Structure 1
Amino acid sequence: MAGPLTGIKVLDLSRILAGPWATQVLADYGAEVYKIERPVSGDDTRHWGPPYVQNSDGTDTQESAYYVAANRGKQSFAIDITSEQGQAQIKQMVLDADIVVENYKVGGLKKYGLDYDALAQLNPGIIYCSITGFGQTGPYANKAGYDAMIQAMGGLMSITGEQDQLPGGGPQKVGVAVADLMTGMYAVSGILAALHHKNQTGEGQHIDLALLDTQVAWLANQASNYLIGGDVPKRLGTAHPNIVPYQAMKVKNGHIMLAVGNDRQFKKCCQILGAPELAEDSDYASNDQRVANRDVLINKLEALFLCHDIDYWLEHLSAAHVPCGPINTLDRVFENPQIQHRQMLFELEHPTAGKVPQVANPVKFSATPIEYHSLAPTLGNASTNKA
């Protein structure tokens, strides 16, 4: 069964994560993605290990787990774009392409005749998505930008981590490269919007996407809290700035994540805790009051949660429809029956390593379900006359 983007051809000149993540999603959706890589070395992330995918004899393939996470479903073309022959190959491929994704420095492809203006002359309908740290314009346009520094500059690290006065306090980056990943997802939605416009008008366009812009855009309620309330948000560890109690709670043998989202749920939570009077107390009866009296309330709740273990609280709170969950390590994530039922883990065949595990795309189409055909490609696995 064909995917929803069957027939769409994507020329992927990107590397590392933001661009490859976007083009992997497009490949999952059925697009034909041609990954253009430097001869010999290929995408930098091929070598970002260990761990590496291992051959059947136990030796490393020199394809890192990082690379495999972001490049399935593509065909690899080893092309030297600094050479006239390589530039001619790319231009020939563009004639038949719908989308180009690249993440070179601003102006980096112009000297090779592979910038948007040059390629749009060859194919006026081309959708050309440029991903950079800071965008095509502005005082930082020529600076390099990487995920960790973008998390810092874009405000995310100022609201991530434990409070400064507590043990382990201070700024923290998120455990995965979320600025890159979110930029990749914005790229997908922008490309699909541009594709819809092209289908209506025949007109292609240039998409200018910056990691810093993306990071600021998805500060979401935290940005709105500052812009409307005027107070600069602080780090709260696992706690929520606008909802209480909504944080990790220490219990007898570890922690659970409690996510009480309204007054009704708080009342049920207090009943399970054996302290129904807390929900009737004017200091805690409404979320506004719970936020105002956060520290005192959390201290009272913590004393109650320490009376029983993780399994007890998960069972009783869940039975009362009070949102909560375990704080799982990744081994427990992939053992979770819900994750297994949703088929979020599957395997794809590698030419020398056998079956390699993959995390599935979470989108479930009813009419055009995703079909996974190939693992991240070995370098240069496709010939240029195949396009």
Structure 2
Amino acid sequence: MKFIHTADWHLGNTMHDIDRTRESGAFLEWLKSEIETVGAQALIIAGDIFDVVNPSNMAKTQYYNFLSSLFKTKCSNVVVIGGNHDSGTLLDAPAGILDALNIKVIGSINNREVNDLVFELNDAQGNAIGICCAVPFMRDLELEQFYKYSEKPVGGECADVASDDLLKRLYADVYRRAVELRGGRNIPIIATGHLYASNLSGRDAGIAVDDGVREVVGTLGNVDVSTFPSEADYVALGHIHYTSMVAKNPKVRYSGSPFVMGFDEANCKRYVLAVDVAQGAVPTVDKIEVPKAIRFEQFKGDFETLKLKLRDLEKELVANPMETYVDLLLTSGEFVSLNDALEKEETGKHFVVKRHRISRDVLRSGTSFDDCVESTKQYTKEDYFRMLIASNLQENDESAAVKNQYDKFISLFNEAVSKAHE
């Protein structure tokens, strides 16, 4: 069985107010072409179809137009699961109609049973070519409620079970059902998931929280590879934006996002995975690089380094024009107002600088918080939070301890902001 594994499209994303409609449209057109080239019999989209729970009409139009376009291909199966950015209710709303078109949508586990998550994948002639265990993103409470009424009472009450144990149980249950559905047929079993697994190989995925990528909160945010049935022939995961394997297991993979979702991801190549899998065999996985429709660059260094990099970029774009956005970070040297000092390097160029930032070390080298705020125009909420901490630290043991805990503080800060906007 051949299929394409992709995830984390985040349709409707407007990172730093950049209109990405053309970029996402170009990707979907390219993906359809690759499905035909590969001869994929199925497409698995492992969550975060949309960037927000209430996506724009344009984002929804792109999604449905793409699904309808696949009827002109030999791809006879589409599997869509919900991610932590998606509204499971919104994805599930047209599931009945889409199911009749052999597009299986599992937006959430709410009001579903194990059997609802497991189904056959068929070729164009209706012959079974695989079994899918479609497990979407779920919060701890949703998983607990899923099993609430199946637990045997202990002392008149339901026994407390850790969410990570329940997740492992869920994957065991859907796999057991898949084996029953497979019967004696020689067809593979593919599972899905949208979560943060531990022990990633390749580039371990630090999640970019500064551009709207929300971390999974709770025990589902650190899942061991043993959670997934070892007998499954492939596990297609979403949530991590880098292409990677879990615990170096070639059967458990993240496809990564086809798009740059934060400037810190700018230099990371984007892929979809073409998977050829058979029962009991190690899958053959080809990484297909996604062509760029928009270019993103993140430049770091002292003032002179940033200036030279902008000049070199301009020369490149004169020779090979492409819509380009830049993030600048002053990491060393004396404090300068980048917005003012680089005005000549940015005006009338073939690129747009979307953000000027200054590292904490530079900020603390003699510039007050108020001065920093006055001299910049494009700082994010995290930058201001960083400045606030830097301006209040004193050179003593206690402040050193606070500095060492900065990553924890910024993570909690982003979690609070995320919840406030939900």
Larger Rg: 1
Provide the TM-score with structure 1 as the length reference: 0.29
Q: Which one has more relative contact order, counting CA pairs under 8 Å at least 6 apart?
A: 1
- TM-score, normalised by the number of residues in structure 2: 0.27
